Structure 1
């Protein structure tokens, strides 16, 4: 693939045309399944699902500007992303009891937030979206609005935590 085609692919991906990724998936899924079976002992169906998940993550990286040029070897890049995801899925480190309890309390407080706050925080912290992408996903006017919403949601979470801890201390 020469440079003008690479630029055209990126432009098409940024405007939502996923035909390149669909073609890539169709041409490489069987090869990917063989690689996944050898490397991670995955059957064909889970391997296909992993490839779809990785290609969607790749698309998100291009669409929100985290990836500004196509890697020289796209297949190697995609396989690396899949390998990374499989290693992350296997990480099952046991947390100390105190940390596990703290995370459980935070999860409970998080569920008390409104749906919009939960969504904003999930997009920003767990998906790694920048404020422009959060604004687009949430329908906000611009990145500054997304930044203020995230700040307000964190403030609410902090206040919930403070009320819970001070209420526990008084009892």
Structure 2
């Protein structure tokens, strides 16, 4: 089932579409938590919470989807899991170790990059999101954007990446990435 069909069905209150998403992405989403020191039960809970967030956003017409549903759910799961880890850390009064600092640093980098991508034009934004966050091939990108061929898509991606690099360098310093 295509993402657009799933969104339409969910917006009309079709819970079977939500069940479809649950089954389709269950393994992918729970593996995120399991690979980051979560238990099977925590993984299930986080994924269910992510689906509730998704459902509520769709029903209330607050969802602005600029990527695949799977990418959106992945981000929500990661954010919910990070919040849960922070909550656990506060409860146990344990200091964060180096690995968690790396995760936080990676999250900050991702935030900076996503923020700059949002400032690019619509075509560049779509190309970079499709390529880096949705793992689409150049052929899929060309097809989705109605470009002549994969070479055109590659050229546009290259130019967009250069614009993104320039934008990041103009707004942020190296220390923004190293703190």
- TM bucket (normalised to shorter chain) is 0.3 to 0.5
- TM-score (normalizing by structure 1): 0.48
- The structure having more radius of gyration, on CA atoms, is 1
State the TM-score, normalized to the length of structure 2: 0.46
